[in-house]
Amino acid sequence: MRANAFTAQPDHLRVEFARAGAAHYHYFWLRHHCPCCIHPTTDERILNPSAVPLDIQPERVTSVADGVALDWPDGHRSEFTSAWLAAHRYSTDDLYHNDAGPTEHIEVAYADIAADLVAACEKHLADRGAILVRHCALDTEALVARFAERGFAVRSTHFGYIEDLKTDNTTNDNTDQLGYTDAAVELHTDMPFIEVPPRYQILQCMTKAERGGDSMLADARQAALHLRDRDRHAFDMLTQTPVLFHRQQQKYESKVTFPILTFTDGEFAQARTSYFTFAPLAMPYDQMEQWYRAYQKFTRIIEDYQYSFLLEPGDFVLYDNFRMLHGRTSFAGARWMRGIYLDREAG
């Protein structure tokens, strides 16, 4: 199996396999399983795992023909083929294997689902947390009407009824925030600073940027489950530690306190995170570093559950704001997206 990329993380190597998701390998595990550290006659391993420091890190990680090489501090070099790494990926990677990279799992053509658009969207929301619809023939108001027929209502916010996300916006209120600039916006959930954020959002492309402006989605539910099995302490930190979210703009302010992850009766309920609306964190001194470590581990894991794509005029993406993080790259030119928040009507 071919690997597309090798990424050196602080404590492990991340390997992204072509069409098979990503896997992670601790550096101490890689050093212990060095292919050349075997007896020349018996082919038995000669390196005792007790001799490998748990905090070992390679000095260099280099892609080589059909694999990767790691140069260790003592001068030793270990080389692994992509096929060997794929065959020995950890069991938790198998449990939470995700093929999020290709958008084929969330992407559909409007013509294929036009007859029952909302039902197709609901199925994708339940299965994948999002749907990317290409070449939609509906304008924004007609699209909203289709969802209204099936029990969805537009959620007005402090931005207004429908957002025009563009740098020269003159139609919305409270545009003094990152979404109305051409800057990159990293993965986040929308409106974590209110008690009950909107459940769903449609982003419809009206004009794409001249350069950049790629969209990103990432499945926080799968990442949270992965974290729970990989590092229970980190998981507990993010589900039990309250965080103050604070949005302060010239004409709007709201704040609320919640943990990053909420589980109800053992089941994922909601992710709530937005790096640009974190208030100064306040927790006991001996917990602060643990929280930062937990949050950084979660954000590293979520990279494996991320979709990246470019919206063209006529395309729209619909995602579950409780489950999916979203973001975009920086851009140049007159990029224009229309944003519509939706909730299900009561009853």
DSSP characters for 63-124?
EETTEEEEE-TTS-EEEEEHHHHHHT--HHHHHT----SSGGGTEEEHHHHGGGHHHHHHHH
Q: How confident is the model over 202-241, as pLDDT tens digits?
A: 999 999 999 999 999 999 999 999 999 989 999 999 999 9
| 223 and 295 co-located in one domain | yes
Bridge partners (DSSP) of residue 317 are 132, 203
Average pLDDT over residues 276-299: 93
Q: How confident is the model over 164-195, as pLDDT tens digits?
A: 998 888 888 878 888 889 999 999 999 999 99
Instruction: Look at 176 and 31; give whichever has higher pLDDT.
Output: 31
Average pLDDT over residues 36-58: 92
Q: Which of 129, 103, 148, 115 is nearest to 309 (CA)?
A: 103
Q: How confident is the model over 100-131, as pLDDT tens digits?
A: 556 888 999 999 999 999 999 999 999 999 99
Using the 3D structure, point to which of 36, 69, 90 is the last residue of a domain: 90
- Say which CATH number the domain at 10 has: 3.30.2020.30
Q: Please name the residues in contact with 296: beta carbons below 8 A apart, sequence gap of 6 or more.
A: none
Provide the edge-to-edge strand list for the sheet that holds 21-26.
3-8, 12-17, 21-26
Label residues 20-40 b or e (16+ Cβ within 10 Å = b): bbbbbbbbbbbbbbbeeeeee
Q: Which of 32, 14, 31 is nearest to 23 (CA)?
A: 14
Residue with tokens 């609306």: 277
- Say which CATH number the domain at 201 has: 3.60.130.10
Question: Per the structure block, which two tokens stand in for 132?
Answer: 């990317």
- For residues 124 and 131, the answer to whether their CB atoms sit within 8 Å is yes
- For residues 222 and 211, the answer to whether their CB atoms sit within 8 Å is no
Average pLDDT over residues 56-85: 95
Dist CA 278 CA 194 (whole Å): 13
| 85 and 100 co-located in one domain | no
By the 10 Å C-beta count (0-12 exposed, 13-18 middle, 19+ buried), 166 is classed as buried
| 45 and 69 co-located in one domain | yes
| 246 and 302 co-located in one domain | yes
| 14 and 116 co-located in one domain | no
Dist CA 105 CA 98 (whole Å): 10
Using the 3D structure, point to which of 32, 55, 90 is the last residue of a domain: 90
What are the φ and ψ backbone dihedral angles of 197, each rounded to 5 degrees?
Answer: -65, 160
* Total structural domains within the chain: 2
Q: Give the model's pLDDT for residue 100.
A: 53
Model confidence, pTM: 0.78
Average pLDDT over residues 33-39: 95
Q: Give the model's pLDDT for residue 20.
A: 65
Q: Which range marks the domain in which residue 78 is found?
A: 3-90
